[in-house]
Amino acid sequence: MLIQPILFVVLIVGGTALISWPLGRYMTWAMDPQGAASGRPNAFTRLFQSIGGSVSARPQDWKRYMVSILAFNVVMFVVTFSILALQQYLPLNPDGKEALEGSLIFNTAASFTSNTNLQHYSGEVSLSYLSQLAGLMWLQFVSAATGIAALAALARGLAGRKLGNFFVDVQRASFLVLLPVAFIVAILLVVGGMPMTFNGAAVATTLEGVQQTIARGPVAAFVSIKQLGTNGGGFFGPNSTHPLENPSFWTNVVETVSIILIPMACVWMFGRIVGRMRHATVIFGVMLVLVLLRVAGGIWFESAPTQAFADLPIEQTTGNLEGKELRFGASAGPLWSVLTTSTSNGSVNAMHDSLNPLAGMMPMIGMWLNEDFGGVGVGMINMFLYIVVGVFIAGMMIGRTPEYLGWRVEAREVKFAILALLAHGLFILGGTAVFAATPWGADVLNNVGPHGFSEILYEFSSASANNGSGFEGLGDNTVPWNVATGIVMLLARFIPIILPLAIVGSLSAKRRSAESSGTLSVEGGTFATMLAATILVVGALTFFPAATLGPIAEHFIYMN
C-alpha cells in the first residue's frame, strides 16, 4: 500500500525535474538568444521587434521595462474586461450565455491579468466560448509570458548586463516558450479523451429517462495552457476534478507534470542567464525539499478516513474520498493540491475545502511561502527576495558587508525586499481579519467553526499568492469579495515584480566586486540552510497564529 504513493510521487516530481533541465536550456535560448555577446539580433528578435514597433528595438532600463509591463497589462485588462462585458453580443456563444454582473467582470479580468485565475464564476454556467478563449485563454498565455519576461530581465540585470526590452521578451515567452509546449500538451490531452469542440451543450436522455444537459466545449486547448502557465482557471467550475477536464489517470499525470514543469525550468533559465548553474542547483534543491515535505504531509494527513463517517457502517480503509475522483488513484489529490499551491497554479483535481484539516493546511503553507518553484517567472523572482533577505541576515551574523553575486546588498535593497514580503502578509492577514469580523465573510460560509475561518483565510491567501484555488464552499461571488480580492490580486501581482526590478536597478548602479574568500558562498550547504531558514522564519511564522485558528484548531477539535 505504501509503495504506490511513493512511486507515483517520485515518477511525477522526479520525471518533471528531468524534463525541466533541457527545457531550461531551450528557454534560455528562446528568451536570451544573444547571451552576453552583443552581436546582431537573430531572426526571431528582428521579427518581434517589427511586430512591436520602434519602441521594442531600444534597450530599456528598469523603469522603462516596468512601465512597459504595466502598459501591456493595462491593455490586457481592458481587452478582457470588454470581451467579458460584451459577451452576450459577441459570436461563439452557442449556449446563449448572458450578461455578467459588473463586480464579477472586474474580479475576473483582474484575476486572469494577474495570472491568478481565482474564479468567482463557473465557466460552463456563465461564459461563452469567446470569453473563455479570447478573454481568458489569451490572458493565460500573455500573463504567464509577462512573468517569464520579468525573470529574464531580472537575471540579465544580476549578470551585469542591460535588462533587455519587455516587448520583445513577452513575445519570445508567448511564441517560443508557451505556444509550442502548450500545443504538445494539448494534443496529449485531446488524445487522452478530452473534448475539443465548438458545438454547444449536448442534451441526453438517460437510461432512467431523465434529461441531462452535458456542457462541453474547446476544453483541451484551454486546459493545456491553464496547467502550463501556472494559471489554473478551469474551463468548468470544478476545474480538473471534472471528467471532461481530466478524463483519466493518464491525463491527470500529464496535467500534474504541466503544473511544475515551467516553474522548474525557470530556475535553470535563471542560472544560465546569471551564469551560475551551481547556485541555481542549490536554489532548486531548497525548493524541492520544501515541496516534498508538504507532499509527504499532505498524503499522510489525507490517508485518514472521512471523520464524518466514523460512527456509521462505512468502510474506513480508503482514506478521505469526499471531493475526490476515483480514476486518479489515492495519492493524486494531495500531491496535486501541494504542487498547485507551490506554484501559484491554483487548478485542483480534488476539492480543497473537503481535504482533512491538516492536509488542507499544506496548500495554504504553499501559498504563504509562494516561492518553492512558484509561478512561472515570478516564483524565482519571489525566491530572489528571500535570497536578498537571507544574504543580509547572514552578513549581519558574520559581520561582513552582505553581497550577492558580487553586488553589495545595502539598506535600500533590503527595504524593498522586506516591503514586498510584508505586503503578502498584510494582504492575507488584513483581508482575513476584516472579512472574518464582518458579515461580508461570516454570512457566506459553507462550513461552521474553524473550517469557516479557514475558508476566508484560504481565499485571501489564494488572492495574494496569485494562486486562484479556493475552499470553494465560500460564497464568494458578492460585491465585497469581488472588489476586495480583485484589488489584492492586482497589488500582489505588481508589487513583487516592480520592487525586485527596482532592487536590480539599484544594485546594478553600483560597482560589482569580485567574490573573495570573505564572501558568503551561494553554492554550498551553508547557503542552502540559511535560505531555507529565512523562508521558514520570515514566511511561515508570519502565518502561524492564523493557522492555529483555522486548520490546526479544527484538527485538534474534531479528528481522533
Partner 1 sequence: MEALLASVRITVATMAICVAGYATAVWAVGQAITPETADGSLITRPDGTIIGSRLIAQPFSQPKYFWPRPSAVDYNAAGAGGSNKSPTSPDLTDRAREIVAAYRATPENPLPAELAAASGAGLDPHISERAALYQAARIAEARGLAEPEVEALVHRMAFAPGGFLTTDRIVNVLELNLALDGTGTPQQ
Contact 218, 253 (CB under 8 A): no
In angstroms, what is the minimal distance from the CB of 68 to partner 1?
5
The CB-of-160 to partner 1 minimum distance in angstroms stands at 26
Q: Considering Cα of 134, then 140, then 143, then 148, what sign does the dihedral take?
A: negative
Of 1, 552, 557, 559, nearest to 309 by C-alpha is 559
Measured from the CB atom, the residue of 137 and 488 that comes closer to partner 1 is 137
- Beta strands 407-408 and 403-404 are antiparallel
> Smallest distance from the beta carbon of 79 to partner 1, in angstroms?
6
Of residues 171 and 466, the one with the C-beta less far from partner 1: 171
Nearer to partner 1, 49 or 382 (CB): 49
Contact call for residues 234 and 123 (beta carbons, < 8 A): yes
Burial tier of 315 (Cβ tally within 10 Å: 0-12, 13-18, 19+): exposed
Nearer to partner 1, 24 or 452 (CB): 452
Task: Give the C-alpha separation, 282 to 383, whole Å.
Answer: 12
* Burial of 296: CB neighbours in 10 Å, binned 0-12, 13-18, 19+: middle
Choice between 357 and 375, CB closer to partner 1: 357
Residues 6+ apart with CB under 8 A from 120: 104, 107, 108, 111, 476, 477, 481, 482, 485
Shortest distance, position 57 Cβ to partner 1, whole Å: 10
Q: How far is CA 132 from the centre of its chain?
A: 19
Nearer to partner 1, 32 or 554 (CB): 554
Cβ-based nearer residue to partner 1, 197 or 521: 197
Contacts of 157 (CB under 8 A, 6+ apart): 62, 163, 501, 504, 505, 507, 508
Element spanning 215, H or E = none
CB of 171 to partner 1, least distance (A): 6
Closest CB 238 distance from partner 1, rounded Å: 4
CB of 15 to partner 1, least distance (A): 12
Among the residues of 407-552, which ranges form H helices? Answer: 411-425, 431-437, 439-442, 450-464, 479-508, 525-534, 541-547
Nearest to residue 454, comparing CAs of 372, 338, 339, 355?
355
Least CB distance from residue 394 to partner 1, whole Å? 39
Please identify, using beta-carbon distances, which residue of 58 and 400 lies nearer to partner 1: 58
Choice between 28 and 131, CB closer to partner 1: 131
Cell numbers given for 57: 528595438
The Cα-based distances of 378 to 114, 172, 370, 469, 495 in angstroms read 11, 17, 9, 18, 11
- Shortest distance, CB of residue 199 to partner 1, whole angstroms? 7
Residue (of 269, 333, 274, 275) closest to 301 by Cα position:
333
Helix/strand/coil (H/E/C) assignment for every residue in 368-432 = HHCCCCCCCCHHHHHHHHHHHHHHHHHHHHHCCCCEECCEECCHHHHHHHHHHHHHHHHHHHHHH
List all residues 6 or more positions away from 504 whose beta carbon is below 8 Å from its beta carbon: 62, 153, 154, 157, 158, 163
C-alpha cell at 432: 482575513
Q: How far is the CB of 468 from partner 1 (least distance, A)?
A: 16
Least distance (Å) between residue 397 CB and partner 1: 43
CA distance 133 to 124: 13
